[in-house]
Amino acid sequence: MINLFNTHIDNLSIHRVGNKSRNEAIFISEQPYGLNDEIMPLLKEFFFKPFRSGEENYYQFAHDVDLEYNEMYNLASEIFNNPSNVHEVSKKITKHLFEQSNHPHIKNGEVYVAYLTNVSIDNKTVDAIGVFKSEIKSDFLQFEEKETNLEMILQQGINLQKLDKGCLIFNYKKEEGYKILTVDSNRYDARYWLEHFLSVDAFQDENFMTKKYLKFCQDFAKDVVLPAEDKKEEVLFMNRAVNHFAKNDNFEETNFLNEVIDNPDLISEFKNYKVDKGEKYSIEDLTTFPIANAAVTDARRKMKNVIELDTNIQIKLDFVNPESAEKFVEKGWDEEKQMYYYLVYFNKEQKS
């Protein structure tokens, strides 16, 4: 988890990159930008707002041969080793970004390299580097008094409500390639920012493993439990799975299977499904790992606990008290109507 509330921008450099394939130029500022109290809160909101979405998918610098060959990893290390040299290194970062700007869809724009202090991540206070890019220009009106009339002047500028691209590189977990958060609002050139400029892979910590395993369970429920059982059992399987994660600090696959899967035949189906699909979720060899509570909460929030019927009726199951569905909801078949039915037992209707 990160907290940027007390984060301070110690240094800011602003440059501009064009598109190499269109022969657009690069502009390098000779000096860092002079920050003041008026612009500082606006820039902090502009830079940090996209990272407050609540969902934190971390990355790390990577390279097929060795981490030392990753250019951005080396440039980040150069800054962290000597923060006073951040502006000179920002020029190298901008030139590196310019070299990746070859695809005709890539837009020119301003590049901001910021040195950040007092950043909280995983309950630790560290420094960080922010690299941001603004690309899309918005029209806005200025007004000027000319004698007895008010004149409109159409201008273009950056919308401070939307950052186009950005990353936060934390001075944390250096040996693994630093922990990194990144955002990209414009998907037309997704490989350009993540793969070509940053060269990152997903950071495989407990948050990553918890999310991936629960996503795997969700797809198993849809692909295997639903066809073998019914929608009710699919929903209840996922509820048991999430509850198992929620009440344990560490995941152990054997205990999980024994507690979550009622039907013994589905245990072998689960193992076969993992052999076939595990690589897709990066969990093929994963049997034990620490559980990230935030990832469990996020997964529960996104789960559907509704049985939708083709008769325009919905049955909502309570995830807090799943035993109610086990005890008081029955599925059957009506021969006369040639239709399935759900039988729901209750003592009295609850007042809204």
User: What's the pLDDT tens digit per position in 177-205?
Assistant: 999 999 998 766 668 899 999 999 989 88
**pLDDT averaged over every residue in the chain:** 90
What is residue 251's predicted lDDT score, i.e. its pLDDT? 96
Q: Does residue 75 sit in helix, strand or coil?
A: helix
Contacts for 37 with CB less than 8 Å, ≥ 6 apart: none
Number of separate domains in the chain: 2
Position 156 in a domain = no
pLDDT higher than 90, residue 109: yes
**For residues 257 and 297, is the Cβ–Cβ distance under 8 A?**
no
Which H or E run includes 213?
helix 206-220
Q: Are residues 191 and 285 in the same domain?
A: no
Q: Are residues 277 and 302 in the same domain?
A: yes
Position 154 in a domain = no
**For residues 344 and 314, is the Cβ–Cβ distance under 8 A?**
no
Q: Which domain holds residue 82?
A: 2-133+162-203
Q: Are residues 250 and 198 in the same domain?
A: no
Q: Are residues 223 and 75 in the same domain?
A: no
What is residue 319's predicted lDDT score, i.e. its pLDDT? 56
pLDDT higher than 80, residue 283: yes
Q: Are residues 267 and 184 in the same domain?
A: no
More confident residue, 326 or 31: 31
Give the pLDDT confidence of 129-183 residue by residue, as tens digits: 999 999 988 998 999 999 899 999 999 888 898 899 999 999 999 999 999 999 9
pLDDT higher than 80, residue 317: no
Position 142 in a domain = no
**For residues 296 and 214, is the Cβ–Cβ distance under 8 A?**
yes
Q: Are residues 41 and 67 in the same domain?
A: yes
Give the pLDDT confidence of 34-86 residue by residue, as tens digits: 999 999 999 999 999 999 876 678 999 999 899 999 999 999 999 999 999 99
Position 140 in a domain = no
Q: Are residues 66 and 82 in the same domain?
A: yes
**For residues 246 and 295, is the Cβ–Cβ distance under 8 A?**
no
Q: Are residues 191 and 236 in the same domain?
A: no
**Which amino acid does the sequence have at 267?**
I
323 pLDDT band (50/70/90 cuts)?
low
CB-count exposure of residue 260 (10 Å: 0-12, 13-18, 19+): buried
**For residues 92 and 104, is the Cβ–Cβ distance under 8 A?**
no
Domain end (from 203, 233, 262): 203
Q: Are residues 193 and 252 in the same domain?
A: no
Q: Which residues of 4-43 are buried (b: 16+ CB within 10 A; e: fewer)?
A: beebebebbbbbbbbbbeeebebebeeebbeeeeeeeeeb
Which H or E run includes 209?
helix 206-220
What is residue 54's predicted lDDT score, i.e. its pLDDT? 60
Q: What is the pTM of this model?
A: 0.77
Position 157 in a domain = no
Position 151 in a domain = no
Q: Are residues 197 and 214 in the same domain?
A: no
Q: Are residues 196 and 221 in the same domain?
A: no
Position 352 in a domain = no
**Contacts by 280-283 with C-beta closer than 8 Å and gap 24+?**
281/212, 281/213, 281/215, 281/216, 282/202, 282/204, 282/208, 282/212, 283/209, 283/212, 283/213, 283/216
